[in-house]
């Protein structure tokens, strides 16, 4: 009699490598490992071999890089979504896609369950499981770290579990940062970062970005072209989405751009400290926001900022496949219809400065904005505008003077006596 099947989200890292024998020992499932390439840069052949040697009955590798960029990263760029001012949502944007692909394999294989290795303290357990619930509420979800049969409470315990069974340990003890990498970013948690008073050991930690102080003295210019909010070329060369991200990661990385050390609020209620490398993403966000400034009117831009903030929370919390997310994206897509043009930036030792921008849809009008008086703007028009714009203030001040109370009365405590010498 054939065994029930479980789909395991397999990264080849410590947690998911331990889970393969653990599932077989505790659930007697056939374990089908699914590796989803969103730009981790891993040796997928070696990882597939590791999964099979560790006990998986099958292992599938999916190249989802282009899909990840076009369907998840580009929408976030168009919205300028940033969580708590610094985090560019690198892990958060990838998890909905991974969850969806796990469901697709579960349906194809006739599996009864999906298993993931996200810890009970993290955000990823929520992101994976919300995606699964959105497409397959009937499937069982096994979250190993929350399971009553799971008795490992640390990475050291996981390492010992594999060593006791003569299985390969996919990491060294002195390098055991908890990392998540994709084409958009690389995150680091653990080791010295667990104490907020410690400075990150950047030389030991960083993989894709140079320490800003060690970046080239000359700096570097980069030009990015957008069509309807989506990047289409770098330095006047048309590229695919994957090529754009690969090129900008190289450019940003060698100039020390895109480092963030954040103590963020997880959606599970605790704070967590992480260091993020997002070189290409940081360049794109800066450039795209410059073009938004050029092409969007004041009301639209200011409302988009509110929508962006809401979208950031939705993405961070794993609520990608929701009606509200769809509605927010519909608004963002409308705003991006005229966000077409190019932006030039200068990168220097971790910093980014604007070096020019252009759009045929630009709302900047030199004839109006220039300090030289032109035919399109009459300075006297401002008088009537200010009268109406300031009318509520004037009416309130007149009332205060009439009743003898408030900031507008003679001798008001709000008005200081200034020196006359």
For 351-404, the DSSP string reads EEEEEEEE-TT----HHHHSSS--TT--TTHHHHHHHHHTHHHHHHHHHHHHHT
Same structural domain, 166 and 279: no
Same structural domain, 357 and 408: no
Q: Is residue 7 over pLDDT 90? A: yes
Same structural domain, 257 and 381: no
Q: What is the arithmetic mean of pLDDT over 343-364?
A: 98
Strand pairing of 58-63 and 30-37? Answer: parallel
Answer whether residue 83 is part of any domain: no
- Given 175, 205, 238, which residue is the final one in a domain? 175
Sign of the four-CA dihedral 103, 327, 362, 364: negative
Q: How far apart are the C-alpha atoms of 293 and 273, rounded to whole Å?
A: 32
Same structural domain, 258 and 227: yes
Q: How far apart are the C-alpha atoms of 301 and 292, rounded to whole Å?
A: 7
Dump pLDDT digits (tens) for 19-44. Answer: 999 999 999 999 999 999 999 999 99
Same structural domain, 140 and 249: no
Which pLDDT score, from 0 to 100, does residue 271 have? 96
Answer whether residue 101 is part of any domain: yes
- Given 347, 367, 387, which residue is the final one in a domain? 367
Same structural domain, 323 and 377: no
CATH of the domain at 314: 3.90.1260.10
Same structural domain, 11 and 127: yes
Averaged pLDDT of the chain: 95
Dump pLDDT digits (tens) for 58-77. Answer: 999 999 999 999 999 999 99
Question: Catalytic: which of 11, 76, 81, 178?
Answer: 178
Answer whether residue 412 is part of any domain: yes
Question: Catalytic: which of 11, 15, 50, 357?
Answer: 15
- Given 160, 175, 190, which residue is the final one in a domain? 175
Q: Is residue 231 over pLDDT 90? A: yes
> Active-site residue 317, yes or no?
no
Same structural domain, 339 and 384: no
CATH of the domain at 52: 3.40.50.620
Cα–chain center distance at 163: 35
> Active-site residue 124, yes or no?
yes
Dump pLDDT digits (tens) for 320-353. Answer: 999 999 999 999 999 999 999 999 999 999 999 9
Same structural domain, 108 and 170: yes
Question: Catalytic: which of 124, 180, 292, 317?
Answer: 124
Which pLDDT score, from 0 to 100, does residue 421 have? 86
Same structural domain, 328 and 200: yes
Q: What is the arithmetic mean of pLDDT over 117-144?
A: 96
Answer whether residue 71 is part of any domain: no
Q: Which of 8-17, 106-115, 208-217 has the lowest mean pLDDT?
A: 8-17
Question: Greater confidence, 316 or 179?
Answer: 316
Note down the domain range covering 289: 181-367
Which pTM value belongs to this model?
0.93
Question: Catalytic: which of 50, 65, 95, 127?
Answer: 95
> Active-site residue 107, yes or no?
no
Same structural domain, 170 and 192: no
Answer whether residue 36 is part of any domain: yes
Answer whether residue 73 is part of any domain: no
Same structural domain, 21 and 129: yes
- Percentage, residues of the chain above pLDDT 70: 98
- The domain total for the chain is 3
Q: How far apart are the C-alpha atoms of 392 and 27, rounded to whole Å?
A: 70
Q: Is residue 313 over pLDDT 70? A: yes
> Active-site residue 326, yes or no?
no
């Amino acid at each position: 009699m054939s065994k029930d099947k479980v789909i395991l989200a397999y990264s080849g890292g410590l947690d998911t490598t331990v889970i393969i024998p653990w599932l077989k020992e505790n659930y007697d499932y056939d374990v089908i490992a699914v590796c989803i390439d969103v730009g981790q840069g891993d040796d997928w052949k070696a990882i597939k071999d590791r999964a099979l040697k560790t006990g998986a009955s099958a292992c599938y590798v999916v190249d989802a890089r282009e899909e990840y960029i076009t369907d998840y990263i580009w929408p976030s760029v168009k919205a300028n979504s940033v969580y708590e001012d610094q985090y560019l949502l690198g892990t958060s944007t990838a998890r909905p896609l991974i969850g969806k692909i796990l469901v697709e394999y579960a349906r194809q294989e006739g599996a009864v369950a999906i298993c993931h290795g996200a810890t009970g303290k993290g955000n990823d357990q929520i992101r994976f499981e919300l995606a699964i619930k959105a497409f397959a509420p009937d499937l069982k979800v096994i979250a190993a770290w929350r399971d009553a049969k799971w008795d490992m409470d640390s990475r050291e315990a996981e390492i010992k579990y594999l060593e006791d069974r003569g299985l390969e340990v996919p990491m060294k003890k002195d390098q055991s940062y908890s990392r998540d990498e994709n084409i958009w970013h690389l995150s680091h948690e653990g080791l010295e970062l667990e104490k907020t008073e410690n400075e990150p050991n950047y030389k030991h930690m960083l993989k894709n970005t140079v320490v800003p102080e060690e970046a080239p003295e000359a700096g570097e210019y980069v030009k990015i072209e957008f069509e309807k909010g989506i990047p289409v070329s770098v330095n006047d060369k048309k590229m695919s989405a994957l090529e754009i991200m690969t090129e900008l990661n190289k450019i940003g990385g060698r100039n020390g751009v895109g480092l963030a050390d954040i103590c963020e609020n997880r959606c599970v209620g605790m704070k967590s400290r992480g260091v993020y490398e997002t070189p290409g993403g940081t360049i794109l966000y800066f450039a795209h926001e410059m073009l938004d400034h050029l092409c969007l009117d004041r009301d639209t831009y200011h409302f988009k900022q509110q929508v962006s903030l809401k979208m950031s929370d939705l993405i961070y919390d794993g609520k990608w496949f929701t009606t509200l997310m769809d509605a927010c994206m519909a608004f963002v897509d409308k705003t991006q219809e005229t966000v077409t043009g190019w932006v030039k930036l200068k990168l220097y030792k971790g910093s980014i400065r604007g070096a020019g921008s252009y759009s045929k849809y630009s709302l900047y009008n030199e004839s109006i904005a220039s300090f030289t008086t032109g035919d399109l703007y009459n300075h006297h028009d401002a008088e009537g505008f200010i009268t109406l714009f300031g009318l509520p203030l004037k009416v309130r001040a007149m009332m205060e003077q009439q009743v003898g109370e408030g900031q507008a009365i003679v001798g008001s405590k709000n008005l200081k006596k200034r020196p006359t010498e």
